[in-house]
Amino acid sequence: MDKEYEETGKIPLIGSAFPKMVVQTSHGMKKLPMDYQGKWFVLFSHPADFTPVCTTEFVSFSRHYDDFQALNTELIGLSMDQVFSHIKWVDWIKENIGDEIKFPIIADHGECARKLGMLHAKATNTVRAVFIVDPKGKIRAILYYPAEIGRNMDEILRMMKAFQVATKHDVAIPANWPNNELFGDHVIVPPATDVKTAKERLESKDHECLDWWMCHKKLD
């Protein structure tokens, strides 16, 4: 683990660097985030192997795997099960449901979970955490779900698409994009920060405005 997190005891937050770690996975040893440099990755934890909700999530992640790959995004699972449990569970999913889990699953002994804030309210199993990490190793989003509610893969994919659009075009993304109730698939132009720019915003033909601070546009 990074010294910064070891010495302070703090968990990483949005905007901070993903802590460096070497982990055992069902695909062998991995160095995070170094092995994924130049790619986005989604690291997600689940409470335990061979549990119903977790199995539905892994099947869903598997069926959306090509969608994540198309966005230059890798998937990494994690739970505090041993690696042979991961391997057997993956085999069970393939044999009984027909889905092949192509991404690695971290076999954590608790260290990763504690450092990443995946253990809540003195729990002995990880909550359903999601870390979205960009190609430079920076954490861009953190989501937490309780044990009894499975995640929505469409929303995680929407976030991946939104992050990449926002990063590439220096824009913000409205609620429910690309089906926003006000602007449809338009994106938000960052608000002006001085009087001159505010006036120019209202006169520009590059976007539409409800007011100088509320401008939107369609991407080419």
pLDDT tens digits, 19-69: 999 999 999 999 999 999 999 999 999 999 999 999 999 999 999 999 999
138: burial class by Cβ within 10 Å (0-12, 13-18, 19+)?
middle
Cα dihedral sign, 49-75-128-57: negative
Task: Provide the CB-side half-sphere exposure for 40 (13 A, CA).
Answer: 22
Q: How far is CA 186 from CA 71, 161, 164, 198, 215, in A?
A: 20, 14, 15, 20, 10
**pLDDT tens for each residue of 102-138:** 999 999 988 898 899 898 877 678 889 999 999 999 9
Report H helices in the chain: 3-8, 52-63, 65-70, 83-96, 111-115, 153-169, 195-203
Residue with tokens 């190793």: 137
What is the predicted pLDDT for the residue at 5? 46
Average pLDDT over residues 97-103: 98
When pLDDT is cut at 50, 70 and 90, the band that residue 9 belongs to is low
* Domains, the chain: 3-150 (3.40.30.10), 170-220 (3.30.1020.10)
DSSP conformation class of 127: -
pLDDT surpasses 80 at 4: no
Which residues are marked as active site? 54
Predicted confidence at residue 218, as pLDDT, reads 95
